[in-house]
Amino acid sequence: MEPATHYTTLGLIRSAPLPVIKASYKALVLIHHPDKTVHLSASERAQHAATFREIQEAYDVLTNASMKAAYDVELGRHGNKVNLERSTFHRAYSFSFRCSTTSTPTPSSTSSKPTPGAYARKPSYRTFSCSDSDRIPLRFQCQSKLIATRLTREDRRSEDSLMDDAALRYTLSCWKDIAAQQDVKDNALDAAFVQIMIHEYTQKVADREAEHEEWLKKMASPKKTPQPSSHSTSRTRSQAKTPTPAQSTKASQKASAKNRAQDQKAAEDASRAQARAAEKASKETLRQAQVEAKAAAVRAAKEKAMQLAAEEARKKQEQIRRVREKVAPKPKPKPETAPAEKSKEAGANGEPPKTSVKKECGTCGEEHASLAEWKKCSVRNWKERGGSSDEGFVTVV
């Protein structure tokens, strides 16, 4: 059985990027981590532990760019295979441990002497040298394992911090039950690990109980503790000593200097107040002038707008008048006066009425003065032709 490369251990190809390497590592850790195999037997836990060590070594090498490049060069030198005698990154004892977990030929119970080849041949170990090429990878692996252990412990603490008191106590009881198992007692490493877990959860339960007691004390204590009333009398101030002449002179000088400073400050304040008042008056005058100018401009604009509106109204009325004159009907001519009316008007004026009958007769060619003469002429002409008077009168009428 040939030892597997780090890529084969993680189930990757050589061109796998870093995120894929991390994802594969996390998936395998969830299966082979010692915390996930506590329910298995001792032999199965040993197999998972060996696999977990190989996974951890592969992850440490492939996630480091310089170590990964050196590992790829080593694989290329040996034909993409692991040479335990010359490999810098693979350990011979891990491979021998995995081989030992498989079926190993044992001596026959019937024969008193073991036959040749009945036992597995002793594996050949790589000689460890004191060079940096051997020491640096081993030191790096040890540091990586320590970091992984710390990270696992921190994850466990963060998960346990979300548990309540009952869950912590039950977890502690589970670890105590595991410690009482016979297979754990037989394995010193498992027993030590279980005792460490019992110690951790015992401390966590004690801390949680202490926090609960502290919380109860805070709830029971009043929010504001009353302050004890002090009946001690305040000390009386000692009377001032009688000032000496030098002290009185200094005091008078200080008082006069203070008075002068106050007078000077009052004068400065008065001058500043006058300057502010003058500036305020000038600003107010300027503002009033601006307001008046603005009001005058507004009035002029209003007057101009009114004039424009009046002119527009006048033009509109003129246009309406012209349109009305254009579309208005023309007056009809006065009809002529009828003949009867004309005769009446003539009779009223003392003049003989004028008739509209032609004065020249069409029968005799003479002029007749009245309608009666015209009728007589017509009747006479008719009689001459042999007609009756009644018929002729009707015809004439």
User: b/e map of 272-294 (b: 16 or more CB within 10 Å)?
Assistant: eeeeeeeeeeeeeeeeeeeeeee
Instruction: Say what the pLDDT of residue 312 is.
Output: 94
Residues 6+ apart with CB under 8 A from 31: 48
Inter-residue contact 178 to 201 (CB < 8 Å): no
**Of 198, 192, 204, whose CA–CA distance to 159 is shortest?**
204
Residue 329 has phi, psi (to 5 degrees) of -70, 145
140 in helix, strand or coil? helix
Cα angle for residues 164, 166, 171 (degrees, 5° grid)? 95
- Distance separating the N- and C-terminal Cα atoms of the chain: 162
Higher per-residue confidence, 378 vs 337: 378
pLDDT digits (tens, 9 = 90+) for 167-185: 888 888 899 999 888 888 8
Helices 165-179 and 188-220 cross at an angle (nearest 10°) of 160
- pLDDT category, 315, cuts 50, 70, 90? very high
Distance CA 369, CA 30 (A): 155
- pLDDT category, 334, cuts 50, 70, 90? low
**CATH 3.30.450.30 is right for the domain spanning 1-102+131-162:** no
Instruction: Say what the pLDDT of residue 212 is.
Output: 82
Inter-residue contact 357 to 373 (CB < 8 Å): no
**Of 52, 61, 122, whose CA–CA distance to 87 is shortest?**
61
Sign of CA dihedral 49, 50, 54, 55: negative
Instruction: Say what the pLDDT of residue 332 is.
Output: 67
Higher per-residue confidence, 92 vs 373: 373
Residues 6+ apart with CB under 8 A from 181: none
Q: Which helix (H) or strand (E) holds 385?
A: none
Average pLDDT, the chain: 76
Q: Across-strand partners of 367?
A: 360
CA 280, chain centre distance (Å): 49
Inter-residue contact 42 to 183 (CB < 8 Å): yes
Q: Across-strand partners of 360?
A: 367
Q: Is the per-residue pLDDT at 357 higher than 70? A: no
Instruction: Say what the pLDDT of residue 165 is.
Output: 83
Instruction: Say what the pLDDT of residue 309 is.
Output: 95
Instruction: Say what the pLDDT of residue 313 is.
Output: 94
If you average pLDDT over residues 318-331, what whole number do you get?
Answer: 84
Higher per-residue confidence, 248 vs 344: 248
pLDDT digits (tens, 9 = 90+) for 239-267: 445 656 666 677 788 888 888 888 999 99
Q: Is the per-residue pLDDT at 133 higher than 80? A: no
If you average pLDDT over residues 198-212, what whole number do you get?
Answer: 89
Q: Is the per-residue pLDDT at 153 higher than 70? A: yes
Q: Is the per-residue pLDDT at 1 higher than 80? A: no
pLDDT digits (tens, 9 = 90+) for 59-100: 988 888 888 888 888 888 777 777 766 666 776 444 444 444
| H helices present in the chain, as ranges | 6-10, 18-32, 42-62, 65-77, 92-101, 132-161, 165-179, 182-186, 188-220, 245-327, 339-348, 371-384, 389-396
User: b/e map of 101-125 (b: 16 or more CB within 10 Å)?
Assistant: eeeeeeeeeeeeeeeeeeeeeeeee
- pLDDT category, 307, cuts 50, 70, 90? very high
If you average pLDDT over residues 98-111, what whole number do you get?
Answer: 43
Q: Is the per-residue pLDDT at 102 higher than 90? A: no
Instruction: Say what the pLDDT of residue 325 is.
Output: 86
